[in-house]
Amino acid sequence: MKNKILLLPGDGVGPEITTEAVKILDYIIGKSIVDVSYTEGDIGGVAIDNHNNPFPDETLQKARDSSSILLGAVGTIKHSNNPNNMKPESGLLALRKNLDLYINLRPIFILPSLISCSSLKPEVIKDIDIIIVRELVSDIYFGEPRGFDNDSRSAFNTMRYSEDEVERIASYAFDLSETRKSIITSVDKANVLETSQLWRKCVDKIGKKFPDVKIDHMYIDNAAMQLINNPSQFDVILTGNLFGDILSDEASMLTGSIGMLPSASLSKSQGVYEPIHGSAPDIAGKNIVNPIAMILSLGMMFRYSFKRDDISDSIDNAVNTVLSNGYLTKDLSDSNDFTSTSQMGDLILEEFKKNV
C-alpha cells in the first residue's frame, strides 16, 4: 500500500488532464526518483457505464489498497437525470466517505505571471496565500433523513455535525495554522444555524489548546464578501462541507482561473488529490483544458503522501517557469494563440526535468 497510487481519470476532461500528470509520474518512476507504482480504476459516469455503479466494489478495493489517489473529474450530462445514488457525483461522495477523507485542503494562491488574469485589481490580489480547510464527510451532503415528500412538490435535507467531527477538523486546522501565520478564520452561520452554533463552540474549545493562534469567527455571507474585498486578510480558513465548497470555488477566481488550483482530501492514512474544477464536458476531448491544477495536485500528493517536498517544489517551479515564459492555456489567454493541453504538459515536464 505504501507505494501504490490509484489513478481515477473519471469523466469529461478528467482523462486528458490525467494523461498530462502521468507524463511527470512516468518520468519519476522511470528515473527511480521515488519507488512508486500505479494502477487505474473507474469512478463516476464511466463507472456507471462499465459497472452500473458510480463507485464499484472493485474501485473501492483498489482505493483501500493504495496510499494515494489521483482523481481527474466526475460528472456527465448523460447521467445528470439519474437518481441520486446513480449520479456520477455520488461516486465521489462514496469515495470520501468510505476512506474517511475528512480533511480537504484547498490552497488559494496567485503566481506573479498571472496577476493580470484575475478580474480583481492587482493590488487586491498580489499577496494572497490562503489555504481553506474544509470538513469533507459530514454536513448537509451526508445528513439523514433527506429526500422528497410523497407528492414530490417539496424536498428536505438534514444539516448535521457532531462534536467529534468538528473537533477533529479544527485540530488539524490549528496544527496547520501554527506552521503558517497562526491566524484562523472560522466560517459559519451561527446567528441562524444550530449546527454552526455547535461548530463555533467546538472550534473555541480546540482553540484553547493553541493559545498562540488567533481565532476570528466570521459569518459565511460576510466571508464571501471579504474574500473579494480584502482577500489578503485571510490565512487559514476553517469551515464546513457546504460553506467550504462554495468559498473555495469563489476564491479560485481570485487566481484568474479555476483551472489553476489543486486540492488534497486526507484521512489519517490516505490522500485523494484532484483539481477543484469539474469535468467540463463542453470542452472535453478538444485538447484545450488547462492541466495545471491536475499537475499541481500531483505535486500535493508527493508533499503530503510521500513527504517529498523537493519533488512538489520542483513541480511548482516548473509550472511557474512555463507560465512566466508566456505559455498560457485557453482559459488564461486573451488571444487565439494559446497553448494546448498536451503542449502544456510537455512544457512542464521539460522544466521539471531541469529542476528535479
Q: Which of 26, 221, 309, 310 is catalytic?
A: 221
Q: Which of 11, 102, 141, 273 is catalytic?
A: 141
Q: Which of 49, 129, 216, 249 is catalytic?
A: 249
Max distance between CA atoms of the chain, in angstroms, equals 63
249 belongs to the catalytic site: yes
Cite the beta strand spans of 80-213 per DSSP E.
Answer: 103-109, 129-135, 147-148, 155-156, 183-188
CA distance 112 to 290: 18
Q: Which of 189, 235, 273, 316 is catalytic?
A: 189
282 belongs to the catalytic site: no
CA distance 245 to 293: 17
Contacts of 226 (CB under 8 A, 6+ apart): 218, 233, 234
CA distance 324 to 26: 25
175 belongs to the catalytic site: no
8 Å CB contact between 20 and 294: yes
11 belongs to the catalytic site: no
Residue closest to 207 by CA, chosen among 245, 181, 175: 175
End-to-end CA distance of the chain: 25
Any idea which residues carry the catalytic annotation? 141, 189, 221, 245, 249
